[in-house]
Amino acid sequence: MRIYQGIPVSPGVAIGPALVQLSADSAPVQRAISHGEVDTELDRFHKAVEGAREELQALASGSSLTEAIRGIASSHREFLADPTLHREVEDAIRNGPSSAEWAVASVFRRWIQKFKSLEDEFFRQRYVDLIDLERRLLRKLLPKQGVASSPDHPVVLVTQDPTPSEVVSVDRKQVMGFVTEMGGPTSHTAIVAKSMGIPAVFGLGQIMSAILPGGTLICDGESGQLIVDPDAATLERYKEKREHVKRRFRILKRMAQLPSETPDGWKVSVLGNIEFPFEVDEAIQNGAAGIGLYRTEFLYTEQGRFPDEESHLAEYRSALEKMRGRPLVIRTFDFGADKFAAELGMPPEPNPFLGCRSIRYSFARPELFRTQLRAILRASAEGRVKLMLPMISSVTEYRRAWTILEQVKEELRRDRVHFDPDLPVGVMIEIPAAAITADLLAKEADFFSIGTNDLTQYTLAVDRTNERVASLYRPSNPSILRLLKQIIREGERHRVHVSMCGEMACERPYTLLLLGLGIREFSVTPSAVPEVKRVVRAVTRRAAARIARQAMTFPTPEEVDAFLAEETSRLLPET
């Protein structure tokens, strides 16, 4: 028996024989053509694009697929219409002169490597979408290019780096789990696997050569473990866990539409964090009361350029239509550091996480900031919109942003454009300076949203992506708990609404702790909404407060975590 640790991507347990499948990502052989054949190859390329777009249109219209999958298909279809893509491939055909398939492969491989070199995990995982599109075009140009057919018996699929289209195309009745060498939790492939309910573990490294086809595998999508050739006792234990997980999923499914309140009647709002408009549907289906964090960076990554005002507005309108009166909190661009700094033409910085990122970048590029603010204001006339400013570190920065917003409002008034004049403006509390001066910011801002990811990283001086120090990244560190308590206390004192939108809120023990500290609004990934509701409905306000007070007395994060784990097991024995 061998155990490998990967990245948990889609929850659940899959047990079955291994199907080791090689990815169809080999580049076509370069084929020289004469100048007289250029027009023929250009025509082949254009027909391949049109054929691929027709396939994606059919996929986006499929009634049997989830909204997430249809949304990805639609975004892929739009990408294939990008004039930059057409220009680069056409130039490669003419300048070779080269065959259409070679030009497609060379252009896409260059873009793929560019994305792979990005440090930010979310943006880096977008390279899988480029692989997907490249393969789709090559299948049109080289009909033999493709992946192996679907299995005729239940299997756990082992592959190198599956694309969203390859996941969609599998027979759900036969593929019980996905195991990959590469990939991460924020990729479109991961989104598709989650939406299809397929247990998945990604990023296991070079394991394909170590797995014999047909050998028994256990894929644990919650712990991120892959167990190869398990012994009898392990196999039996995981069969029991599989049934336990199925029972818990049934409980959570019922939980989605139940009221989010404690047994003693304390109402708590649970909202969703989204990257893409199509995720609104998943959030609502899981019982979210609205969207508490709408990250807007995808508008750039999907289009490969900064969106204009109408593009912004179209996306916000799309989300608002699906919200049907529920609140939508839109965060302005959070670029810089490891998020597309090179792509945006930002000069290299010795320490980009402490440099020109997020709101600072918006100040450096006021034309981009004003364009986004205009669109958000226009959207506010059509639904319950709130504006959130990221990485605010001082009252000075908040006032600067507020002044620009007021100038944009005046422009819209002159143009007789409708908007909500009382649009709520809040700040993300994710820098220690903002947490320490929460009392000052509370006198200016309409609401707070605590971003524990960066708050923990900056407070503890720990890069959580650095494996040498990642173990020190502990949201349960007493320093973090004290900052959280101070932020919540100042919010209550100044009657400023405080929500939590960091990943900390997604973990059951921390949800329990945060409830006790006084958080009454959580914004989490759509799939985690029922989990948070489950915790809320299991504990009274008094009991949660008692647990939080006790947790605050421990001097180490290890003691805090052990205590919270024990309390969570007592209140939620099925976990």
Dump strand ranges (E) for 407-558: 425-429, 447-450, 497-500, 521-524
Tokens 């996306």, located at residue: 315
Poorest-pLDDT segment among 12-16, 111-115, 322-326: 111-115
| Residues β-bridged to residue 227 | 3, 218
Does residue 467 have a pLDDT over 60?
Answer: no
Average pLDDT on 488-516 reads: 92
Under a CB-based contact definition with an 8 Å cutoff, are residues 140 and 47 in contact?
yes
Query: Residue 214: its pLDDT value, please?
Result: 81
pLDDT > 90 fraction of the chain, expressed in percent and rounded: 46
Query: Residue 133: its pLDDT value, please?
Result: 86
The CATH 3.50.30.10 domain(s) of the chain lie at: 2-22+147-228
Query: Residue 29: its pLDDT value, please?
Result: 56
Does residue 160 have a pLDDT over 50?
Answer: yes
CA–CA gap between residue 393 and residue 480 (Å, rounded): 17
CA 131 to chain centre: 19
Query: Residue 146: its pLDDT value, please?
Result: 42
Query: Residue 66: its pLDDT value, please?
Result: 61
Phi, psi for 188 (deg, rounded to 5) = -65, -35
Tokens 């889609």, located at residue: 10
Query: Residue 465: its pLDDT value, please?
Result: 55
This model's pTM is above 0.75: no
Query: Residue 419: its pLDDT value, please?
Result: 97
Q: Tell me the CATH number of domain 260-571, given options 3.20.20.60, 1.20.1730.10, 3.20.20.210, 3.40.50.1820.
A: 3.20.20.60
The pLDDT-based confidence of 186 (bands split at 50, 70, 90) is low
CA–CA gap between residue 353 and residue 393 (Å, rounded): 14
Does residue 505 have a pLDDT over 90?
Answer: no
The CATH 3.20.20.60 domain(s) of the chain lie at: 260-571
Average pLDDT on 459-487 reads: 85
51-99, pLDDT tens digit by residue?
989 888 887 776 556 666 777 787 788 888 888 889 999 998 998 888 8
Tokens 């029972």, located at residue: 247
Phi, psi for 40 (deg, rounded to 5) = -65, -40
| Structure tokens that stand for 466 in this block | 């650095």
* DSSP annotation of 447: E
Q: Fill in the amino acid letter for 163.
A: T
* DSSP annotation of 445: -
Q: Fill in the amino acid letter for 252.
A: L
Average pLDDT, the chain: 85
Poorest-pLDDT segment among 292-306, 478-492, 496-510, 524-538: 292-306
- The residue ranking higher by pLDDT, 460 or 277, is 460
CATH class label, 35-141: mainly alpha
- The residue ranking higher by pLDDT, 82 or 519, is 519
Query: Residue 120: its pLDDT value, please?
Result: 62
Q: Tell me the CATH number of domain 2-22+147-228, given options 3.90.1150.10, 3.30.70.260, 3.40.50.720, 3.50.30.10.
A: 3.50.30.10
Poorest-pLDDT segment among 42-46, 199-203, 306-310, 342-346: 342-346
- Sorted by sequence, the CB contacts under 8 Å of residue 95 that are 6+ apart come out as none
Integer-rounded Cα radius of gyration of the chain: 25
The CATH 1.10.274.10 domain(s) of the chain lie at: 35-141
The pLDDT-based confidence of 276 (bands split at 50, 70, 90) is confident
Average pLDDT on 188-192 reads: 67
- The residue ranking higher by pLDDT, 373 or 467, is 373
Query: Residue 148: its pLDDT value, please?
Result: 42
State the number of CA atoms in the 13 A half-sphere of 48 facing the CB: 25
531-549, pLDDT tens digit by residue?
899 999 999 999 999 999 9
Under a CB-based contact definition with an 8 Å cutoff, are residues 313 and 377 in contact?
no
Bridging pattern class, strands 291-294 and 328-331: parallel
- The residue ranking higher by pLDDT, 342 or 473, is 473
Torsion from C-alpha of 312, 315, 319, 324, nearest 10 degrees: 80
Query: Residue 119: its pLDDT value, please?
Result: 63
Active-site amino acid positions: 188, 501
- Sorted by sequence, the CB contacts under 8 Å of residue 441 that are 6+ apart come out as 392, 395, 398, 427, 429, 434, 448
Render the burial of 329-339: b for 16+ CB within 10 Å, e for the rest.
Answer: bbbbbbbbbbb
CA 368 to chain centre: 23
Query: Residue 282: its pLDDT value, please?
Result: 83
Does residue 207 have a pLDDT over 60?
Answer: yes
Average pLDDT on 97-110 reads: 84
Average pLDDT on 11-32 reads: 72
CA–CA gap between residue 132 and residue 162 (Å, rounded): 8
112-159, pLDDT tens digit by residue?
777 777 766 566 667 778 877 887 888 788 765 444 445 668 899 888
Poorest-pLDDT segment among 21-25, 71-75, 409-413: 21-25
The 3-class secondary structure across 333-350, one letter per residue, is CCCECCECCCCCCCCCCC
- The residue ranking higher by pLDDT, 549 or 364, is 549
Does residue 332 have a pLDDT over 70?
Answer: yes
If you write DSSP's letter for every residue of 103-168 in order, what string do you get? Answer: HHHHHHHHHHHHHHT-S-HHHHTTHHHHHHHHHHHHHHHSTT---PPPPSS-EEEEESS--HHHHH
Under a CB-based contact definition with an 8 Å cutoff, are residues 424 and 367 in contact?
no
Decide: residue 431, CB within 10 A, 0-12 exposed, 13-18 middle, 19+ buried.
buried
Average pLDDT on 336-345 reads: 51
Tokens 């005729």, located at residue: 152
Query: Residue 174: its pLDDT value, please?
Result: 85
Under a CB-based contact definition with an 8 Å cutoff, are residues 413 and 373 in contact?
no
